[in-house]
Amino acid sequence: MQSRRRSEALFQTALAHLPGGVNSPVRAFRAVGGTPFFVQSASGAHLLDIDGNRLLDYVGTWGPAILGHAHPRIIRAIQRAAERGTSFGVPNPLEVDLAVRVKSMVPNIEKIRFCNSGTEACMSAIRLARGFTRRDLILKFDGCYHGHADSLLVKAGSGALTFGHPDSAGVPADFARHTMVLPFNDEAAIRAAFSQRGSEIAAVIVEGVPANAGLYLPLPGFYEAIASLCREYGAVFIFDEVMTGFRLGQGGGAQKVYGLQPDLSCFGKIIGGGLPVGAFGGRAEIMDLLAPLGPVYQAGTLSGNPLAMAAGLAALDELNDSDAYTRLDALGEQLEAGMVDAARRAGIPVCWQRIGSMFCGYFTEGPVNNLADAMKSDRARFARFFHGMLSGGVFLAPSQFEAGFISAAHTPADIDRTVQVAAQVLATL
């Protein structure tokens, strides 16, 4: 790794102008120490920082870069769209095309609305569920992050968890009291919650797989229990696929993997090809309560932005036309096998979690099935591991509580190199 003097100097400038020097908290490296680097460009599976360091990237802009950075098909689509105008504020054909495409790939979505971020999608889905049921109570799970809307920043994951404040200041207590938080994978707890307050519950919202407190997977029957209880008590089942949507395969993502039919689904990231985007969709009888048809208000000047729609169409087309998912699964298996073996040989306790091309290595014996388990991980050891990997030219998420992402631009040789660097670093821990 070369010097990072230019990044360090620029970060000092940024501190004077941006809160914490960043525009999103986890980028600040507070969880691992040190100062962040600044990216000059990205291509394929690599980042190039302003000091000339070339890094093998497993952050992938936190998920959207499933095809790698600056994929030619996506770049061409954005260029063609930009030549016709960057924003209209009125309907454009591309938003209809992308709606049709997403619906064709996710059978249980009858209608969909685009917005500008995953946060906005989840916030709007919650409002819609409350309008549909005429109830107020939302049930979520600790460690699950659904964006920074007030109702959802209660026992959240992602950056809030990284900084040790899973509840945000500025969220009125009156908002928080309408959100019930339960442990993930605790079927008895959710059954008890519905038994006691089922008539008050407007919706249950859950991530496709919780990927904002690292990565842990649902135990058999857990999601099925949620779906069944929502049907029994008339609550709306909201599946947050902002990260998992179209990353774990077609058909939405996790909902196809687990054979679910949620009432509403939230998307983002991949369906915008790396540009700012969000979407929520589901049953027509619920979606038709949105303005202008119904009383639930939601709007956005940049919703359905032509650049994001064009990029999303190009990304989904490429995923359809290629063997990307097969290669992603193979790369995920190769990385898991190599990392598990490297940790074993180093005698370091690491609980490796993976689904498809998403992964996380917790520095704990495991198992990790929920937030309480994740919190047992050795964060100081992770920080040393992170910086060792970064010095070796491999960029992982700068927090123990974030998932990693493999792209279709990664190669088996990239995975081998990653494992080799990891083995060297683990040997020093």
- Residues with a known catalytic role: 145, 240, 269
Q: 204 near 226, Cβ under 8 Å?
A: yes
Q: 382 near 350, Cβ under 8 Å?
A: no
Cα radius of gyration rounded to whole Å, the chain: 21
Classify residue 86 by its DSSP letter: S
The pair of three-digit structure tokens given for residue 287, joined into one six-digit string: 């979606």
Residue type, 126: I
Helix (H) or strand (E) holding 78: helix 72-83
The pair of three-digit structure tokens given for residue 5, joined into one six-digit string: 């003097």
Residue 265, strand partner residues = 239, 281
Burial 147-158 (b: 16+ CB within 10 A, else e): bbbbbbbbbbbb
317, 318, 408 from 322: Cα distances, Å: 9, 6, 10
12, 14, 25, 169 from 17: Cα distances, Å: 9, 5, 15, 22
